[in-house]
Protein backbone atom coordinates (compact mmCIF):
# COMPACT_ATOMS: atom_id res chain seq x y z
CA UNK A 1 0.00 0.00 0.00
CA UNK A 2 1.17 3.51 -0.82
CA UNK A 3 2.29 5.13 2.46
CA UNK A 4 3.15 8.56 1.05
CA UNK A 5 1.02 11.47 2.32
CA UNK A 6 -2.39 11.82 0.70
CA UNK A 7 -2.91 15.14 -1.07
CA UNK A 8 -6.23 16.93 -0.64
CA UNK A 9 -6.54 19.96 -2.92
CA UNK A 10 -9.38 22.46 -2.69
CA UNK A 11 -10.28 24.36 -5.86
CA UNK A 12 -12.26 27.43 -4.87
CA UNK A 13 -12.83 28.38 -8.53
CA UNK A 14 -14.35 31.89 -8.94
CA UNK A 15 -15.48 32.19 -5.34
CA UNK A 16 -14.19 34.30 -2.47
CA UNK A 17 -14.46 37.96 -1.53
CA UNK A 18 -12.23 39.34 1.21
CA UNK A 19 -14.33 38.61 4.29
CA UNK A 20 -15.34 35.13 3.13
CA UNK A 21 -11.74 34.33 2.19
CA UNK A 22 -10.36 35.32 5.59
CA UNK A 23 -12.94 33.21 7.44
CA UNK A 24 -12.54 30.14 5.23
CA UNK A 25 -8.75 30.20 4.99
CA UNK A 26 -8.36 30.76 8.72
CA UNK A 27 -10.70 27.89 9.60
CA UNK A 28 -8.94 25.50 7.22
CA UNK A 29 -5.49 26.57 8.43
CA UNK A 30 -6.40 26.10 12.08
CA UNK A 31 -7.95 22.70 11.38
CA UNK A 32 -4.96 21.59 9.31
CA UNK A 33 -2.63 22.01 12.27
CA UNK A 34 -4.23 19.03 14.02
CA UNK A 35 -4.17 16.69 11.03
CA UNK A 36 -1.77 13.72 11.08
CA UNK A 37 1.39 13.74 9.02
CA UNK A 38 0.00 11.39 6.36
CA UNK A 39 -2.26 14.13 4.95
CA UNK A 40 -1.26 17.30 3.10
CA UNK A 41 -3.75 20.04 2.16
CA UNK A 42 -3.61 22.62 -0.61
CA UNK A 43 -6.14 25.40 -1.18
CA UNK A 44 -6.44 27.24 -4.49
CA UNK A 45 -8.26 30.58 -4.09
CA UNK A 46 -8.78 33.08 -6.93
CA UNK A 47 -5.81 35.19 -7.99
CA UNK A 48 -7.17 38.24 -6.11
CA UNK A 49 -7.02 36.39 -2.79
CA UNK A 50 -3.67 34.60 -3.09
CA UNK A 51 -1.56 37.06 -1.14
CA UNK A 52 -4.22 37.42 1.57
CA UNK A 53 -4.38 33.64 2.02
CA UNK A 54 -0.59 33.40 1.98
CA UNK A 55 -0.46 35.86 4.88
CA UNK A 56 -3.06 33.86 6.81
CA UNK A 57 -1.14 30.60 6.36
CA UNK A 58 2.05 32.27 7.55
CA UNK A 59 0.29 33.76 10.58
CA UNK A 60 -1.41 30.53 11.65
CA UNK A 61 1.66 28.43 10.96
CA UNK A 62 0.66 25.15 9.31
CA UNK A 63 4.05 23.36 9.34
CA UNK A 64 3.69 22.52 5.65
CA UNK A 65 0.44 20.60 6.27
CA UNK A 66 -1.44 23.29 4.33
CA UNK A 67 0.06 24.98 1.29
CA UNK A 68 -1.10 27.53 -1.21
CA UNK A 69 -2.12 26.72 -4.77
CA UNK A 70 -3.32 28.71 -7.78
CA UNK A 71 -5.86 27.87 -10.46
CA UNK A 72 -3.83 28.58 -13.59
CA UNK A 73 -0.73 30.30 -14.95
CA UNK A 74 0.54 31.71 -18.24
CA UNK A 75 3.21 30.10 -20.40
CA UNK A 76 5.51 33.14 -20.26
CA UNK A 77 7.36 34.44 -17.22
CA UNK A 78 6.57 38.09 -18.06
CA UNK A 79 5.68 40.34 -20.97
CA UNK A 80 2.80 41.90 -22.87
CA UNK A 81 0.06 39.50 -21.80
CA UNK A 82 -2.77 41.67 -20.48
CA UNK A 83 -4.88 40.00 -17.84
CA UNK A 84 -2.55 37.03 -17.38
CA UNK A 85 -0.57 35.79 -14.35
CA UNK A 86 2.82 34.12 -14.66
CA UNK A 87 4.15 31.20 -12.65
CA UNK A 88 6.91 33.45 -11.34
CA UNK A 89 4.31 35.89 -10.01
CA UNK A 90 2.55 33.03 -8.25
CA UNK A 91 5.77 31.82 -6.65
CA UNK A 92 6.49 35.39 -5.54
CA UNK A 93 3.37 35.44 -3.30
CA UNK A 94 3.97 32.01 -1.79
CA UNK A 95 2.17 29.68 -4.18
CA UNK A 96 3.53 26.09 -4.24
CA UNK A 97 1.04 24.28 -6.51
CA UNK A 98 -0.83 25.29 -9.66
CA UNK A 99 -3.82 23.65 -11.34
CA UNK A 100 -3.44 23.28 -15.09
CA UNK A 101 -5.76 21.94 -17.77
CA UNK A 102 -8.92 21.90 -15.68
CA UNK A 103 -11.85 20.79 -17.82
CA UNK A 104 -13.54 24.17 -17.37
CA UNK A 105 -10.53 25.85 -18.96
CA UNK A 106 -10.25 23.21 -21.67
CA UNK A 107 -13.93 23.67 -22.54
CA UNK A 108 -14.56 27.35 -21.81
CA UNK A 109 -11.18 28.80 -22.82
CA UNK A 110 -10.26 26.39 -25.61
CA UNK A 111 -7.08 25.19 -23.91
CA UNK A 112 -5.33 22.41 -25.81
CA UNK A 113 -2.97 19.70 -24.58
CA UNK A 114 -0.09 21.53 -26.31
CA UNK A 115 -0.86 24.76 -24.43
CA UNK A 116 -1.15 22.92 -21.13
CA UNK A 117 2.22 21.27 -21.74
CA UNK A 118 3.79 24.71 -22.17
CA UNK A 119 2.17 25.84 -18.92
CA UNK A 120 3.60 22.77 -17.20
CA UNK A 121 7.05 23.78 -18.41
CA UNK A 122 6.53 27.32 -17.10
CA UNK A 123 5.34 26.05 -13.72
CA UNK A 124 8.28 23.68 -13.36
CA UNK A 125 10.72 26.45 -14.31
CA UNK A 126 9.28 28.64 -11.54
CA UNK A 127 9.59 25.86 -8.95
CA UNK A 128 5.85 25.18 -8.71
CA UNK A 129 4.24 21.74 -8.60
CA UNK A 130 1.93 21.41 -11.63
CA UNK A 131 -1.36 19.59 -11.03
CA UNK A 132 -2.54 18.54 -14.48
CA UNK A 133 -6.23 17.69 -14.87
CA UNK A 134 -7.48 15.14 -17.38
CA UNK A 135 -10.85 13.49 -17.93
CA UNK A 136 -13.37 12.21 -20.44
CA UNK A 137 -16.85 13.44 -21.34
CA UNK A 138 -20.00 11.35 -20.98
CA UNK A 139 -20.14 10.86 -24.76
CA UNK A 140 -16.55 9.63 -24.85
CA UNK A 141 -17.25 7.30 -21.96
CA UNK A 142 -20.38 5.85 -23.56
CA UNK A 143 -18.55 5.38 -26.87
CA UNK A 144 -15.84 3.34 -25.14
CA UNK A 145 -13.18 5.96 -25.92
CA UNK A 146 -12.31 7.00 -22.35
CA UNK A 147 -8.96 5.16 -22.28
CA UNK A 148 -7.93 6.60 -25.66
CA UNK A 149 -8.86 10.13 -24.58
CA UNK A 150 -6.96 9.85 -21.30
CA UNK A 151 -3.89 8.45 -23.03
CA UNK A 152 -3.97 11.31 -25.54
CA UNK A 153 -4.25 13.92 -22.79
CA UNK A 154 -1.32 12.40 -20.90
CA UNK A 155 0.79 12.28 -24.06
CA UNK A 156 -0.01 15.85 -25.01
CA UNK A 157 -0.11 17.60 -21.64
CA UNK A 158 2.80 16.15 -19.67
CA UNK A 159 6.50 16.70 -20.21
CA UNK A 160 8.78 13.66 -20.52
CA UNK A 161 10.32 14.49 -17.14
CA UNK A 162 7.02 15.41 -15.48
CA UNK A 163 7.31 15.31 -11.71
CA UNK A 164 4.03 16.88 -10.67
CA UNK A 165 0.55 15.59 -9.89
CA UNK A 166 -2.06 14.07 -12.20
CA UNK A 167 -5.73 14.71 -11.38
CA UNK A 168 -8.36 12.49 -12.99
CA UNK A 169 -11.63 14.39 -13.20
CA UNK A 170 -14.25 12.72 -15.39
CA UNK A 171 -16.09 15.65 -16.92
CA UNK A 172 -19.42 13.88 -16.58
CA UNK A 173 -18.97 13.71 -12.79
CA UNK A 174 -17.94 17.30 -12.06
CA UNK A 175 -20.70 19.14 -10.21
CA UNK A 176 -23.18 16.35 -10.95
CA UNK A 177 -23.21 14.68 -7.55
CA UNK A 178 -22.42 11.42 -9.34
CA UNK A 179 -19.12 9.57 -8.96
CA UNK A 180 -17.81 6.40 -10.58
CA UNK A 181 -18.29 3.18 -8.65
CA UNK A 182 -15.37 2.11 -6.52
CA UNK A 183 -14.47 -0.71 -8.94
CA UNK A 184 -14.73 1.57 -11.97
CA UNK A 185 -12.56 4.23 -10.36
CA UNK A 186 -9.99 1.66 -9.26
CA UNK A 187 -9.74 0.27 -12.82
CA UNK A 188 -9.27 3.78 -14.22
CA UNK A 189 -6.58 4.64 -11.67
CA UNK A 190 -4.64 1.47 -12.53
CA UNK A 191 -5.04 2.34 -16.22
CA UNK A 192 -3.59 5.79 -15.59
CA UNK A 193 -0.71 4.33 -13.59
CA UNK A 194 0.07 2.05 -16.53
CA UNK A 195 -0.14 4.93 -19.00
CA UNK A 196 2.27 7.00 -16.92
CA UNK A 197 4.69 4.11 -16.65
CA UNK A 198 4.69 3.41 -20.38
CA UNK A 199 4.76 7.01 -21.64
CA UNK A 200 6.97 8.93 -19.23
CA UNK A 201 10.72 8.53 -19.17
CA UNK A 202 10.80 8.30 -15.41
CA UNK A 203 9.64 6.35 -12.40
CA UNK A 204 5.88 6.91 -12.43
CA UNK A 205 5.64 6.25 -8.69
CA UNK A 206 6.70 9.87 -8.16
CA UNK A 207 3.49 11.10 -9.81
CA UNK A 208 0.50 10.97 -7.42
CA UNK A 209 -2.87 10.41 -9.10
CA UNK A 210 -5.79 12.30 -7.59
CA UNK A 211 -9.52 11.87 -8.18
CA UNK A 212 -11.82 14.84 -8.61
CA UNK A 213 -15.52 15.07 -9.38
CA UNK A 214 -18.21 15.74 -6.78
CA UNK A 215 -16.05 14.59 -3.85
CA UNK A 216 -17.98 14.85 -0.57
CA UNK A 217 -17.24 13.86 3.05
CA UNK A 218 -19.72 10.99 2.73
CA UNK A 219 -17.98 9.56 -0.35
CA UNK A 220 -14.42 10.20 0.78
CA UNK A 221 -13.87 7.04 2.90
CA UNK A 222 -14.83 4.80 -0.05
CA UNK A 223 -12.70 6.79 -2.46
CA UNK A 224 -9.68 6.67 -0.15
CA UNK A 225 -10.04 2.91 0.31
CA UNK A 226 -8.42 2.57 -3.13
CA UNK A 227 -4.76 2.04 -2.32
CA UNK A 228 -3.33 3.44 -5.57
CA UNK A 229 -5.10 6.78 -5.05
CA UNK A 230 -2.78 9.66 -4.20
CA UNK A 231 -5.49 12.06 -3.03
CA UNK A 232 -8.46 14.08 -4.19
CA UNK A 233 -9.23 17.37 -5.93
CA UNK A 234 -12.23 18.92 -4.20
CA UNK A 235 -14.53 21.53 -5.72
CA UNK A 236 -17.62 22.86 -3.96
CA UNK A 237 -16.97 20.96 -0.72
CA UNK A 238 -13.73 22.92 -0.29
CA UNK A 239 -15.76 26.12 0.18
CA UNK A 240 -16.92 24.82 3.56
CA UNK A 241 -14.11 24.34 6.09
CA UNK A 242 -15.96 21.63 8.00
CA UNK A 243 -16.59 19.55 4.87
CA UNK A 244 -13.09 20.03 3.52
CA UNK A 245 -11.46 19.01 6.79
CA UNK A 246 -13.70 15.95 7.09
CA UNK A 247 -12.48 14.85 3.67
CA UNK A 248 -8.93 15.38 4.90
CA UNK A 249 -9.62 13.23 7.94
CA UNK A 250 -10.92 10.46 5.68
CA UNK A 251 -7.66 10.65 3.74
CA UNK A 252 -5.63 9.74 6.79
CA UNK A 253 -4.70 6.08 7.08
CA UNK A 254 -4.63 6.55 10.84
CA UNK A 255 -8.12 8.01 11.01
CA UNK A 256 -9.92 6.29 8.13
CA UNK A 257 -10.88 3.24 10.18
CA UNK A 258 -12.15 5.34 13.09
CA UNK A 259 -15.31 7.46 13.51
CA UNK A 260 -14.72 11.13 12.77
CA UNK A 261 -14.28 13.06 15.98
CA UNK A 262 -13.69 16.54 17.27
CA UNK A 263 -15.11 19.78 15.89
CA UNK A 264 -15.46 18.41 12.33
CA UNK A 265 -17.70 15.51 13.21
CA UNK A 266 -21.20 15.85 11.73
Which residues participate in the annotated binding site for substrate?
11-13, 175, 214
Other beta carbons within 10 Å of 177:
10
Find the helix packing angle between 18-32 and 241-251, rounded to 10°. Answer: 30
What positions carry a catalytic annotation?
A: 102, 169
Q: How far apart are CA 173 and CA 161, in angstroms?
A: 30
Cα–Cα dist 59/107, whole Å = 37
Cα–Cα nearest to 171, from 144, 137, 143: 137
> Each residue of 70-109: b (16+ CB within 10 Å) or e?
bbbbbbeeeeeeeeebbbbbbbebebbbbbbbbbbbbeee
Residues annotated within a binding site: 11-13, 175, 214
Q: How far apart are CA 198 and CA 85, in angstroms?
A: 33
Amino acid sequence: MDVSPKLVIGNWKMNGLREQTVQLATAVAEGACSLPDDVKLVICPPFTQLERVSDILETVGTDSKLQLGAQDCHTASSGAHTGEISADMLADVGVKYVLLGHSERRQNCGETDALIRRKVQAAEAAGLVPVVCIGETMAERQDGRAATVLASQIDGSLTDSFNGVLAYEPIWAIGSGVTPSRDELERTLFLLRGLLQSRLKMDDIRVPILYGGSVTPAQAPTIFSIGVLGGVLVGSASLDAKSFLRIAEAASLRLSSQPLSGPYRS
